[in-house]
Structure 1
Amino acid sequence: MSEWLVVLVRSIISFFTLLIFAKILGKQQISQLAFFDYVLGITIGSIAATLTTDLSSRAWPHWVGLFTWAILGYLMEYITMKWRYAGKYIDGEPAIVIMNGKIMEDALKKMKYRVSDIMALLRNKSVFDLKEVDFAIIEPNGQLSVLKKGQYQSLTAKDMNISKTSSGISTELIYDGILIEQNLRQLNKDKNWIISQLKMQGITDISEVFLATLNPAGSLYIDKYEDHIKKITDIGDYKGPY
């Protein structure tokens, strides 16, 4: 078999193999590209490229490496999804770099960010004046989330000559059916309070709740495992053969 035909066959096999692996590993590989996901994607792509063009070696060792990296990537995604602390260690945690309009220098040093880096990220969010920022958070994927001060938000209260207080940042109280008592204490709440709030929503047990958050303004958000949504909006163009 001529070399060009071997390359053609290997290319087709590698292409569809990567397509299958991308479906298995999920959209997180492209939607929230953390450093680990970035390295994983490059490595799998590099192995697939070598499998395609390296005709001086047998194909099966490349196949073993490709399957091994893909399986390890899948297992890591499963572990980080099921075990909260593993996810925090591998994917990292959000870090507040601006709080109440003040730059957190220690947080910047810890994350090896410069003020100029933050300023550039703010400009990408159409923020050109630090005085407009109430909170800024570096997400695990390196993106910057910004909460503007009340008077600078869209359709601002400042334009209407109305004073507006900041709602603050929501804090997780329940995650994956587990009560985070430390966060409750930080908000001067206790377990009895959250249980009473759940009962008002018709929820009898904390294990029924996937996520519950509370912001300093007192706004409580609750999401149950069973949401009983009768009609789910599908934003995809193609239903697919499912």
Structure 2
Amino acid sequence: MHFPYLDIIIRSAAVYFFMTIALRIFGKKELSQLNTADVILILLISNSVQNAMVGPDTSLWGGLVAALVLFIINFIIKKLMHRSKFFSDLLLDKPEVLIHNGKLDFKALSRLDISHDELKEAMREHGLEHFTDVKLCMLEIDGTISIISEDKKNLKQTHYKRKHNHKILKK
């Protein structure tokens, strides 16, 4: 007995896992602030994998089955990440310290391709002018830059959405 939509289910699952691995390799941090080129890439990828998921079945039911499979897999993956440290570590990046007690981590900044201008912009959004005023600056797992200031009476945290990098911070 052949289930008519089994092929679509298998294809959709394969595309989902391929895209998950590709985003892990190429960096989810870049998705925190989409620019025009990123949106075009996402649209082209979705168009290119559509046929890979549904094959020759271009019916409404074929598309709905593919979408349902993607939603179910996404739901299961999120539950596994919530319940299992192994899956969470496998799929999520770790937050990265960029500045600690006013000292920049040049290796992390270079590896993450975060420019001096990006750091200064994030600091200005928080009302800070000097690196020495920063108690802790982190690149969060969602790609935002969080800053906690050294000022005890004005201790607050802000988030800065990363934009595409133009310069790499030099040592």
Query: If the length of structure 2 is used for normalisation, what is the TM-score?
Result: 0.54
**Alignment deviations for residues 36-95 of structure 1 (CA, whole Å, 9 cap, x no partner):** 8999xx78xx68xx9xxxxxx411121121011111111111111011132133121111
1:145 deviation in Å? 1.9
Normalized per residue, the structure richer in helix is 2
**Alignment deviations for residues 144-172 of structure 1 (CA, whole Å, 9 cap, x no partner):** 22221145x428xxxxxxxxxxxxxxxxx
Paired amino acid for 2:128:
V
Q: Which runs of 5 or more residues in structure 1 are unaligned?
A: 1-32, 51-56, 156-242
Query: 2:63 matched to 1:62?
Result: yes
1:34 deviation in Å? 6.6
Partner of 1:218: none
Paired amino acid for 2:124:
R
1:122 deviation in Å? 2.1
Partner of 2:154: 154
CA contact (8 A) 1:36 1:90 kept: no
1:72-151 map, 5 Å = 72-150=73-151
Q: Distance in 2 between matches of 1:36 and 1:78?
A: 22
1:140 deviation in Å? 0.3
Say what the alpha-carbon RMSD is for the aligned residues.
3.3
Query: If the length of structure 1 is used for normalisation, what is the TM-score?
Result: 0.39
CA contact (8 A) 2:31 2:143 kept: no
Identity across aligned pairs (percent)?
16
Larger Cα Rg: Structure 1 or Structure 2? 1
Higher relative contact order (CA 8 A, sep 6+): 2
Q: Distance in 2 between matches of 1:35 and 1:59?
A: 33
1:1-242 map, 5 Å = 57-150=58-151, 153-154=153-154
Question: Structure 2 vs 1, CA of residues 34 and 81 (structure 1 numbering), >3 Å: closer, same or farther?
Answer: farther
Paired amino acid for 1:126:
G
Following TM superposition, the consecutive aligned residue runs of length 4 or more in structure 1 with deviations greater than 6 angstroms are 33-39
Where 2:148 maps in the other structure, the secondary structure is strand
Where 1:144 maps in the other structure, the secondary structure is strand
Question: Structure 2 vs 1, CA of residues 87 and 35 (structure 1 numbering), >3 Å: closer, same or farther?
Answer: farther
**Alignment deviations for residues 115-151 of structure 1 (CA, whole Å, 9 cap, x no partner):** 2222222223232332211111111011222221145
